[in-house]
Amino acid sequence: MAEDDNRDPAELEEVFSSIDPTRTMMARDYLVSEGIEVFVGDEEASRMLGMTSAVQSRVLVHADAAEEARRILRDLGFLE
């Protein structure tokens, strides 16, 4: 059994992060348009500190949607 098979689907997994909140919001919007439920973490802290590498805003999805979310973001050039 693969390690990923033991994940709780309700658990959140980070699929993208950036110091640029605009890129984070774009990634969120693309995933939402594909029907994936998205949560953004550390958004307010990132805005408060500006575009510094101190706090990145993070895009999180349910573990069972993480692979699909990464594929979408990779296809759109957000991930390598």
Q: Which domains does the chain have, with CATH numbers?
A: 7-75 (3.30.70.790)
Identify the weakest region by mean pLDDT among 11-15, 20-24, 36-40, 43-47: 43-47
With both helix axes pointing from N to C terminus, report the angle between 21-33 and 66-75 in degrees, rounded to the nearest 10.
110
SS3 category, 31? helix
Residue 43: its pLDDT value, please? Answer: 62
Count of residues making up the chain: 80
Give the pLDDT band (50/70/90) at residue 1: very low
Taking only the tens place, the pLDDT of each residue in 38-69 is: 999 876 554 555 555 567 889 999 999 999 99
Q: What pLDDT is stored for residue 10 in this prediction?
A: 80
Q: What's the mean per-residue pLDDT of the chain?
A: 84
The residue written with tokens 């980070």 in the block is 14
